[in-house]
Chain A
Amino acid sequence: MKLRALLAYWPVVVFVALAALPFSQDKQVALYVQQLIPLFIFALLALGLNVVVGYTGLLHLGIAAFFGIGAYTAGILTVQAFPFQQSLPVVLAAAVVTSVLIAVATAAPTLRLRGDYLALVTMGFGLIITFVIRNLESITDGTRGLNPVTPSLLPGMDDPNLRKFKLGPGWGQHWYDYPYFYFLCLGLLGLTNLFLRNLERSRLGRAWVALREDELAASCMGLNPARLKLSAIALGACIAGLAGALYAIAQQTTGGPESYDFNRSMIALCCVILGGLGNRPGVILGVFILIGYDIVLTPILDTETQQESFQTLFPEWMRGKQYLKVSGWRLFIFGAALILIMRYRPEGLLPAARMKHELHPEEGERPESEGERPA
C-alpha cells in the first residue's frame, strides 16, 4: 500500500524528469527535446477540450477556433505591422481574455441546444473562424500568417541576453528559444494540470460531472445547466487560447488559417478520447502518442524512408509514392486507433475511474470518487 501511495506521485516524477532533460549534455537529446515543445502546447489544447468534452460531456467540434483566436491575438499584439508590440504577460492575458469573451458571446445563445445539435454549432463556428481569419486580410494577413511573433519577455524591459546561462547543447540566447520556452511551456502545462486537478474536486467540477451524467437529474438537484455549460466552454476556450498564443510564439508565426481548421479540432478530440475522456494524465498521454507520432516520430522515420537505400527495396513504380512514407499512413493510423479504442477500450488508455466503472461494471472495481484519487 505504501508503494502504491508513492506511485501516485508519478506525474511529479515525470514532470521533474522532463524539466531535467535540457541539462543533458547529449546533442541528439537536445535536438529531440526541442520537439517536445509543440507536444506540451497540444497537451494544453487537449486539456482545454477535455474540460468541455470530458468533464461536462458536451461534444465540442470546434476547439481549434479558440486555439486560432489565441494565436492570432498573440500575433496582432506583437508583429510590426500593428503599433502594439506587447510583452509576453500582456499577450498571454489578452489571448486568454479574447478567447473567453468570444466563447461566451458565441456559446451563450446556443446553450439550449442539446447533444448533436450543440456539436454541429461548435463545428460550424470552428469552420467560420477559419474563413474569417482567411478573409480579414487587413488584420490577419490572409493565408500568409502574421510573423514574427516574438513578444518581449516583460513590459518596458529589454530582453535579457541569456547566452551566459548556457548549460547544455543547443541552448539559445532569447527567452523564446529552446530551452527557456520549453521550461515556460512545461511550467504552464504543470500549472494548468494542478489547477484542473483542484477544479475537479471543487463544487464546480463536481457539478460538471453531474451534468454530464444526467442533465435532467442535475437540474432537478438545483444546478443551473446553462450556467455550468457556459463556464465549461469558457474555461475550455481559455486554456485553448493560452495554448494558441504559445503555439504562435513557438513557431514565431501564426501560420495560416489551415493550422486552425476542422482537422485540428478532430485530432485534439482524438487525443482526448484515445487517452481517456475526463482524465488529465490520460489526455496528456493521448497527445504524446498521437501528436508525438505525428510530428516527432513521423519526420524521423520519413527521413529514413526518404533514403535511396530504402526506396530501392521496392519496384520502380512504387518509389516515392505516399504509401512508402510513414506520413502517408497518418490518417489510417489515426482512424484505426479511434475505431479500435472505441471497440475494445471505450474508456481510453488511462481511463478516469468513474468511466471505467461505468463501461466495465463486471470487473467489480469500487468506483473511487474523483476527489480521493491523487493525481
Chain B
Amino acid sequence: MQADVFMQRNVSLERLTYYRNCYNVDGVVSVTYDPAESVDFTLFEEFTVDRRGFMKSAAGMLGGASLAGIAGCGGCGGSDANTIKIVSSLPRTGSAQGQTNTIVNGIKMAIDDYNGEVAGLKIDYTDMDDATAAAGKWEPTAEAANARKAVADEDVMVFIGPYNSGAAKVSMPILNEGGLLQISPACTWPGLTKKQEGDTSGEPEVYRPANRITFCRVCPTDDVQGPLSADYAKNVLKAKKVYILDDKELYGAGIAGLFEAQCKKIGLQVLGRQSIVPTQQTFSEIAGTVAGEKPDFVYFGGTTQTAAGRLIKDLRTARVACPIMVPDGCYEQAFLDSASAQDLENVYATIGGTDPSLLKGPGEEFVKKYKEKYQKDPEAYAVYGYEAGKVFLEAVKTVGKKDREAILKACLATKDFSAGAIGTWSFDADGDTTLQQLTISKIIDGKFVPQVSQNK
C-alpha cells in the first residue's frame, strides 16, 4: 500500500530502494543507489504518516507491551546513533574454546587499537556463542539465532564468524539476505565462496540469496592447505602409499577430498578412504583395516571435536606407526590434550596461514602485545581474529559514518591492506583473501613445532 503511494508519483525503482534503506526495512538490496541523488523528503514524511495511520487502525499492539518487558533485558541495550556494534559468533563452549578465546582476544585487541572509538562512533562488542554446552560444538539452531539477532539489531555493522565452515552454511544466507557484512576468521572450506569442481549443490550461489557478496574471510582456504599437505607428504616425508580418513563433515570430508585429488595428481597411491562416525567410542575396526593396508602415511580430515585424538590413539594401538597428518581443525591445545604424547609422536598438523611464532614485523609486535596482555601464547587463529577486527574498523574509518551498506562495500573493496598483522593482502572478487600461506608443524613433546611455512 505504501508502494502505491510511491508509484502514483512515478518514483524510480532506484529511489524506492533508497527509501527502504533509510528505513532499514529489510536491508536486502540488489540495486545500488547513488547517495548523491537528490531526495524528495516530502515523500519520506508521507510514508511515515501513512504507516502510523495504518498502525493506529490495526489492533496489533496487543501483547506487545508485555513481551517488551521480557525483551527489554540488559545487554540488548538501546539503540544509540553514535554506537556501532561488532558481534562475533564462535563456539565459546566446548573444546574449540581455547582457540576461540584467542580469536575473541584478537578482536578485542583490534578494538583497543582504536581506543574503542572510530570515526566518532563508539565501538561496542558482543561475544556470542554458537555452541551449546551439551553438544560441545557448534549447533545450527544457535548459529541461525545469532545471525538473525545480528540482522535485526540495526546497530550491528559486522558479524565476525563463524569458526566452522558447516556453521557458515547456516548463517551465510541469513546475513546475506539481511545485507550484513560477515567476516570469518577461520572458515576454510573453499566452496563457501567459490564453485568447486564437480559440485552439484549450487555452491556458492545458494549462500547468496540476495545475489551479491556479503561474506569474506581473512584466512587462506583449504584449496591451499589440502594440496600442499599432499605435496609435503610426497616430497619431504617420502610417502608412497597413503590412507585417507575423514569425519564426513563439510570441512573434514572437504579437505580430505582436496588432499585425495592432489595425491592422484602427483602420483601418490591412495590405499583407501573411509569415514569415521565421531560419536563412536572406539575406532578399533577402522584402525585394524588401516593397519592391514600398511600405509606409510595417513591423513585425517577432521577436527578435535570430531574425535581426532581418539582416532590417532586407536591407530597407534593397532600399530600404525607411520606419519599422520591432520588439518587446521586440530591445530589447537585441545587436540594435544586429547591423546597422549607418545601417540602424538610423528603427527603433523597443518594450518592455512602462519603459526604465531613465525610472524614478522607487525605480527611479531602483535604476538608480543598479546602475551603481555593475556599472559599466554596466542593460538594459531588469534591473529586472524585481530585481522578481521582490523579490516572492518579500517573500513568504518574510510566510510566515516554508521551505514551498513557503505561499510559492507568499503570492506569488500579492501585492497593492499597492511594495517593488520599478517602482511599485505586484498580481498578478491569472491571475498577471499589473496594471502595464500600454509604452515606445517610437527608435534614434538606435546607442542606444535613449525617445520615449513610456504606461500602457494
A8 CB, min distance to chain B CBs, angstroms: 21
Residues of B within 8 A of A142 (CB): 248-249, 253
Residues of B within 8 A of A327 (CB): 93, 129, 132-134
Known: A24-B68, A142-B253, A300-B73. A331 touches B134 (CB 8 A): yes
A93 interfacial by beta-carbon distance below 8 Å: no
B70 interfacial by beta-carbon distance below 8 Å: yes
Residues of B within 8 A of A147 (CB): 169-170, 173, 206
A195 CB, min distance to chain B CBs, angstroms: 25
B141 interfacial by beta-carbon distance below 8 Å: yes
Number of interface residues of B (CB under 8 A): 68
In the bound assembly, the distance between CA atoms of A149 and B205 in angstroms comes to 14
Chain A 127-162 near chain B by CB (<8 Å), digits 1 or 0: 000010010010001111101101000000000000
Q: What is the interface of chain A mostly: helix, strand, loop, or mixed?
A: helix
B201 interfacial by beta-carbon distance below 8 Å: yes
A253 interfacial by beta-carbon distance below 8 Å: yes
A26 touching B141, Cβ below 8 Å: no
B169 touching A32, Cβ below 8 Å: no
In the bound assembly, the distance between CA atoms of A298 and B174 in angstroms comes to 21
A173 interfacial by beta-carbon distance below 8 Å: yes
| CB under 8 Å from chain B, chain A span 10-51 | 16-18, 20-35, 38
| CB under 8 Å from chain B, chain A span 271-302 | 295, 298-300, 302
Residues of B within 8 A of A329 (CB): 133
Number of interface residues of A (CB under 8 A): 68
A274 CB, min distance to chain B CBs, angstroms: 18
A330 touching B134, Cβ below 8 Å: yes
A304 interfacial by beta-carbon distance below 8 Å: yes
B198 interfacial by beta-carbon distance below 8 Å: no
B286 interfacial by beta-carbon distance below 8 Å: no
B129 touching A306, Cβ below 8 Å: yes
In the bound assembly, the distance between CA atoms of A285 and B140 in angstroms comes to 24
Choose one: A164, A166, A253; the contact of B170 (CB below 8 Å): A253
A169 CB, min distance to chain B CBs, angstroms: 8
Q: Which residue in chain B gives the minimum CB-CB distance to A148? A: B206
B63 interfacial by beta-carbon distance below 8 Å: yes
B250 interfacial by beta-carbon distance below 8 Å: yes
Using a CB–CB cutoff of 8 Å, the interface residues on chain B facing chain A are 1-4, 20, 25-26, 28, 54-55, 58-65, 67-68, 70-76, 79, 92-93, 97, 101, 126-129, 132-135, 140-142, 144-146, 148-149, 152-154, 166, 169-170, 173-174, 177, 200-202, 206, 209, 247-250, 253, 277
13 A-B contacts, Cβ less than 8 Å apart?
A21-B62, A29-B64, A33-B67, A143-B248, A148-B209, A163-B20, A163-B26, A164-B2, A256-B140, A258-B135, A304-B75, A325-B129, A330-B133
